[in-house]
Amino acid sequence: MKAMKKTLLAVAMTVAATTGVQAAGISDDVVKIGVLVDMGGVYADICGQGCVTAVEMAVEDFGGTVLGKPIEIVSADDQNKPDVGSAKVRQWIESEDVDVVTGLVASSVTGAATKVLTDAKKIALISTSASNAFTTKACSPYNVHWTYNVAALANGTVKPMVAAGKKKWFFITADYAFGHALEGIATKVIEESGGEVVGAVRAPFGTTDFSSYVLQAQASGADVVGLANAGGDFVNSLKTAAEFGLTETTDVAGLLVFTNNALALDPAIAAGMKATSGFYWDMDDQTREWSARFKARHGVIPSMGQAGQYSMTMHYLNAIKAAGTDESDAVMKKMKETKPDDFFARNATLRNDGRMVHDMLLVSIKDAASRASSDDIYNIEAVIPGDVAFNPMLPECDFK
């Protein structure tokens, strides 16, 4: 009788263990990735369909399956509207069994989306948002912020300019979360470096007429006019600055410049402008190989957000494989235990707050005579170590 009980107990334990393994595997027998981006607005070129392409490339390079289960991709246009973005994320989670949401460009949209994801204990893989809030005041155990943030931009571009004697700054700032964050942290860097901010003006998101803002900048007497904006706003504000002669008399600093934006600018306007980037396609053989594959599919060289999107997706899928499950807490643990290391992530770590710290690049835009091809737009001036570029981790965001 005792032997029979032992046998039954052993069988029960085996069944329970087997059931546990199955339960810890892939939920719903598929890993579903949601890519939420601006498809038609001012940020469409810097991420948009190109970020969807980068995710597709990562899934294909990974083999199309993980733990024997298929990987699926869904995508949507958030229209740069927080309510649209958060509603789509909620729909994906509640009705379509999406496991992870990535893309996430406009910081206002990302802020709304990550609240929904955190409540649902789902991972946010943030590719192209600039605000550092997602690993500071809005940190979450489910946030992963990969490519760059406003701290890295300010430390990379602003600090050396102030050190070179450009002490007085004026800002033309995008009037929403990203622009406010970028202006705020750049101001802190300026003041800590011995400079001062003599004025600032905030321009509505997506405006096409920057003339009044440029005139205020001209009247400020600043050594540098900082453009705390991005995408189409950056391009339009710089073109207006050139039309009004501001670029002839004052340094204009683009605090967030993507390769797509630099391609759209006349070198006569943009040549010499310094910027900080998380990636450049022509840095070495690794970046050139991946970028050539991306361009063959998407038609243009990749932005840092698109390259970061691929890198982050691969890291996520590798973490699922290592964890033996797509359960969020287990995957986050593996993502943080494993050092990112690929053509994008150099000397990289994923901290417990979700910030991926890696080497950044200080670049300058080439003049027309120095370009070997239409895609040859940057000189790499310096490599900025990640611990110098990024803000330190806050104790309250140390999610172990």
DSSP designation for 350 = E
Check residue 274 and give its pLDDT.
87
Average pLDDT over residues 173-197: 93
Query: Is 115 exposed, middle or buried (CB count within 10 Å of its CB: 0-12, 13-18, 19+)?
Result: middle
Six-digit token string for 116: 């929904």
**Residue 141 confidence (pLDDT):** 98
DSSP notation for 253-287: EESS--HHHHHTS-HHHHTT-EEEES--TTSSHHH
Q: What gap in Å lies between CA 13 and CA 36, rounded to an integer? A: 43
> pLDDT for 339-371, tens place per residue?
999 999 999 999 999 999 999 999 999 999 999
pLDDT tens column, 104-138: 999 999 999 999 999 999 999 999 999 999 999 99
Give the model's pLDDT for residue 5: 41
Residue carrying structure tokens 């605090």: 255
Domains of the chain, with CATH numbers? 31-148+283-354 (3.40.50.2300), 151-277+361-386 (3.40.50.2300)
Task: Note the pTM of the prediction, 2 decimals.
Answer: 0.89
pLDDT in tens, 297-314: 999 999 999 999 999 999
Mean pLDDT of 44-49: 94
Cβ(105)–Cβ(47) under 8 Å? Answer: yes
Q: Compute CA 143 distance to the chain's CA centroid, rounded to the nearest angstrom.
A: 12
pLDDT of res. 277: 96
Average pLDDT over residues 229-239: 90
What does each C-alpha distance from 87 to 79, 97, 122, 146, 171 come to in angstroms?
12, 14, 15, 24, 33
